[in-house]
Chain A
């Protein structure tokens, strides 16, 4: 059925509003900071065939992977066995979830005359779904059974009524049942609201017009994406990164994971091919296929249509090739707790690969890891068990016309908010010692990489710590067009006896009262040759403490008066000539 352009726009805007209402409901009613501050979720409206129609982005790395949950629901429960008022819940990485165990998906179908015409969907991270240690995020698991309580798609509500058995099962399998069940209640309210909004559209415009509009929305998405791909010059573009691996620093499981990407732009189609990527890991650094697909879709969106709303139709212009049995398409029962780690490098690699094709739209590499960290223990005052799950920020790469951004969350995360020091000090038994930028952490460049961040806690009681930072050993935040790499990620533990431990990855490390843990997110890579940077900008960086006097000399070839910070023009010219020659020889 052909839909007139006005009705189409009206239906589209109503569905976008429905998706926004899902987010609004969750944000305010959720219990866990990981939902309301980290915004570790996504929500959307899908059609009856699991095509994403409208999405309200939360976590970009979750882009367009809600369809997998609907597909799995049809496969496990069966389309005919679903009824109005049902709400589905799932988290199994290999059935309905597609990520890792702490991510729960809630789904609510919208019916008309006994037919499912659409879905409201929500995916969000909960603090704990069981598993070997608290938090659901580990560096050293070797099979998914260790990682948490798994739910394939099950009915959490049956025709509007709570399925108490499922609630009891969840309560029995999480370390923090109140928070998890509070979050689940918020999710249920949200998807029911979204489903109701979808039904209102059907009631108002009728089935024929609604389904016709859904098809046209997808067709238009495809046309927009193809037009955007056509703007990128045809060619084959490649980039790769070597990830550190998994296990613990003192007992590695997998090392030097090669992540290889070849992009082919062929008129109005893009192919992202991961052939050559390393085999499935023994440890948890495995990204289930649905998540590799969504990370790749996210990257595609960045380079083609960052400001347009997305739907399934967009991704018809993208073909993704993932080798079977690689760590981007692992086989059950591979561990996958660290699935997001490769996904934060995938979009960064897109920018690196396409730099020669679209130099004005790319930047240097970013610090490249979500810096997820977990501290857990018993609060000495309340005697309650707590799990603090946080991410840390770092620098982004220099841009074609300005310096890189300092202190942002990684590309895995999006409109995610840090937990303020004043909130941390109320919620948890520790004191925040500092929260500041790291001098000289931005990669040198004509446009400097953004600075990384240093967040330091002094513990007020014994606790356990899990950290899993990557992109440290082999692929630091790279520069582009002659820019230099940024400083890499690390976590430093200052022991009571004065020892200093530096950790990339460690699970369940005991910490004692009074010890200090310092999370350090790295900086971004530079854009362009640092010797081309305006000396006045370098002097300004030194005055503001972003760059040291020494680095101004050694990295930028700028000689400054240590007192006044005035640029010594003659000395700078000589110095830059010398450094330029050294550069040529390399």
Chain B
């Protein structure tokens, strides 16, 4: 039997196949087919030429949702909301993110005002019906929806998080009267307060629903035709997968599926290598993305923003900056040097790509320094020009009267600082010390810069995975099913009614179990965990504290103490004497998938085999000096080999840098584990 995963990206569709018996891994990469991404996915799978009836698990990541949102290619959508509140979507939070811009434009609502329809009804903050809903008043809405040829409807009523009965009634009514129109009810996606964010979430869900259903229908049919009998698993933003049948109703949960795959991959790989706490670091052509993994799970954020529009769903907390191989070095009017966030992207690309780019980029700098080999870029498949890189960097060098080498080193130093700032702010925000983490580096440019950044932040270890070029797809292969449900529940911790609290947790858990049943998940594979979001009374932001179910009166002081402790870690201070308040209850359900056994690579001695060593190359290290770096071919290294820096370990899609005084060991799976020595002052 086989396990498969496919990850549709902007340029390529990546695939990973794992033979469950032997642990052997095969990769596949084809060009994406943006007009119909299902085609590329099938092509990617067909390259392996294996019968799909032997597939036990197939997970899939796709950009179909994020593209529909970014390109504005969703369905014609209407919104039904409480009387007096149809402008919530347009008013938003009234903030100006670009506060010095006189011509600032806020994100436009996905639903025009004339399609934001109000109904007479009202529920108060405690969930009591203040104004009942009259179904006969909904008839007039049907006329408008039909006349305007609306394809999808979002329903978000005020305080529906506390009592969803009116939303449910409207949903049933629409289902009866307009069976061809898709409907998204806000409370089915999230039971959190904050009406703008919830409305925005339901609206975006409705907006992409018809597009996603069409896509999934075709993909499932194509797979079935080829003998696939299992459930198609879709990668979600929260780092878990869900069945395609669930994704049809919750497409907005897959908005960040690709990057989440990378974070899950980092978490799994770190586990195999024996690390629980890692920072994942994915650097590609235009951006660098990072996330934090503690206790083997990626940390999540409570909401995410796409094109300025919030989505109130847990998402792997990824931070991104415009720092990639294509980031351009430039000089401002005052004569200061900067790198990025503008990128030469794939076209025209860095100057050395010979596709018409003339601006100096990070990749050009790495080529100039000697880190990249002009004759072994993409394994020699792509010709790159050192002369063009040199000429592009010379523009910057001449301006500052620096040597071209020194300017190239400067470009790399600046981009590294930008990235260590990003990583540091990630850890600061959560109160972690980077020294207690390992860094998993992947993406085309990640392994080049990882060691230097790790040194800067005193991160002791850098891990470079095998298959780093298709690492998100590899992560998807390792993903468990996961569903998060949260409900706003405001009560003082000390006096909270335990019975009611447990009943709420139980109902959230039951809803998750219902989804798992729909996904055919074996009961024995299901694990539930429970969290309370707490704060000091009067505070707004909350911190999550783990709880055991059922919560008891005697457990309350422990929860309070755990909150005080977390508060101290994250913010540097706490106030144990102050009263705590519960804000929401959360249940996370994991349906664990049997983890495959990975193939081990051949064992070797401490000294790498002679055929792995490809000679050496001078690399510029500053102050006018070059240092010879040993070159190794990664696929020829054996388990147990140790490569001492300075060295470059090359593979087709990436190059890992091991600096002087660092050493790199190859583990049993072929993962590179670089020990980063503290910088000497």
Contacts and interface: CB of A to CB of B under 8 A. Distances in A.
B425 A417 contact: no
Contacts of B337: 5-6, 8-9
Interface stretch (B34-42, B69-77, B95-103, B382-390): B95-103
Contacts of A186: 571, 573
B275 interface: no
B84 A433 contact: yes
Contacts of B571: 25, 28-29, 186, 189
B86 interface: yes
A490 interface: no
A163 interface: no
B490 A453 contact: no
A516 to B, nearest CB: 12
B421 A17 contact: yes
Contact of B99 (A415, A435, A437, A456): A415
Interface string B526-546: 000000000011111100000
Nearest to B162: A422
A422 B161 contact: yes
Interface in A20-34: 20-21, 24-25, 27-33
A301 interface: yes
Nearest to A421: B195
B414 A9 contact: yes
A25 B429 CA distance: 7
A36 B425 contact: no
B333 interface: yes
Contacts of B130: 431
Most B Cβ at <10 Å: residue of A301, A361, A544: A544
Contact of B193 (A5, A30, A396, A426): A426
B389 to A, nearest CB: 18
Contact of A179 (B92, B98, B421, B538): B538
Interface residues of B, number: 72
A434 B339 CA distance: 48
Contacts of A182: 536, 538-539, 575, 578
Most A Cβ at <10 Å: residue of B103, B104, B105: B103
Contacts of A422: 125, 158-159, 161, 193-195
B425 A408 contact: no
Contact of B103 (A5, A193, A400, A435): A400
A224 B102 contact: no
Contacts of B425: 17, 20-21, 24
B400 to A, nearest CB: 5
Interface string B319-349: 0000000000000111111110000000000
Contacts of B106: 405, 408
B334 A193 contact: no
Given A409-B95, A409-B96, A544-B112, A24 B429 contact: yes
B446 interface: no
B573 A29 contact: yes
A420 B195 CA distance: 7
B368 interface: no
Contact of A435 (B91, B540, B570, B573): B91
Nearest to B85: A435
Determine the main DSSP class of B at the interface with A: loop
A90 B173 CA distance: 60
A223 B98 CA distance: 23
Contacts of B338: 9
Interface string A402-441: 1001111100011111101111011000011111110000
Contacts of B197: 420
Most A Cβ at <10 Å: residue of B125, B334, B421, B429: B334
B580 to A, nearest CB: 13
B543 to A, nearest CB: 9
B461 interface: no
B417 interface: yes
Given A6-B337, A544-B112, A31 B418 contact: no
A420 B333 contact: no
Contacts of A6: 337, 409-410, 413-414
Nearest to B101: A306
Interface string A298-318: 100111011100000000000
Given A9-B417, A437-B87, A31 B536 contact: yes
Nearest to A176: B538
Given A25-B571, A437-B87, A425 B125 contact: yes
Contacts of B125: 422, 425-426
Given A25-B571, A220-B335, A436-B87, A10 B114 contact: no
Given A306-B101, A436-B84, A417 B575 contact: no
A206 to B, nearest CB: 10
B1 interface: no
Interface in A178-209: 178-179, 182, 185-186, 188-189, 192-193
A60 B100 contact: yes
A398 to B, nearest CB: 10
A453 B87 CA distance: 9
B599 interface: no
A545 interface: yes
A426 B334 CA distance: 51
A9 B101 contact: no
A579 to B, nearest CB: 26
B501 to A, nearest CB: 17
A143 B193 CA distance: 42
Given A182-B575, A420-B194, A435-B91, A408 B333 contact: no
Nearest to A306: B100
B88 interface: yes
B428 interface: yes
A329 interface: no
A82 interface: no
Nearest to A192: B572
B100 A302 contact: yes
A185 B421 contact: no
A36 B540 contact: yes
Contacts of B524: none
Nearest to A16: B421
A544 B116 CA distance: 9
Nearest to B92: A407
B424 interface: yes
Contacts of A28: 429, 541, 570-571
A42 B334 CA distance: 26
A382 to B, nearest CB: 10
A166 interface: no
A554 to B, nearest CB: 22
B196 interface: yes
Contacts of A553: none
A504 interface: no
A436 B333 contact: no
A313 B158 CA distance: 49
B30 to A, nearest CB: 39
A512 interface: no
Contact of B87 (A13, A36, A407, A409): A407
Contact of B124 (A5, A21, A222, A425): A425
A307 B96 CA distance: 13
A188 to B, nearest CB: 8
A14 interface: yes
Nearest to B540: A36
B434 to A, nearest CB: 13
Interface of A: 4-6, 8-10, 12-14, 16-17, 20-21, 24-25, 27-33, 36-37, 39, 57, 60, 178-179, 182, 185-186, 188-189, 192-193, 219-224, 227, 298, 301-303, 305-307, 351, 361-363, 393, 396, 399-400, 402, 405-409, 413-418, 420-423, 425-426, 431-437, 453, 456, 543-546
10 contacts: A13-B414, A186-B573, A188-B573, A193-B428, A220-B332, A417-B94, A421-B85, A456-B84, A544-B112, A546-B113
Given A406-B90, A545-B113, 8 more contacts: A9-B338, A29-B567, A189-B573, A227-B333, A405-B105, A418-B95, A435-B85, A544-B113
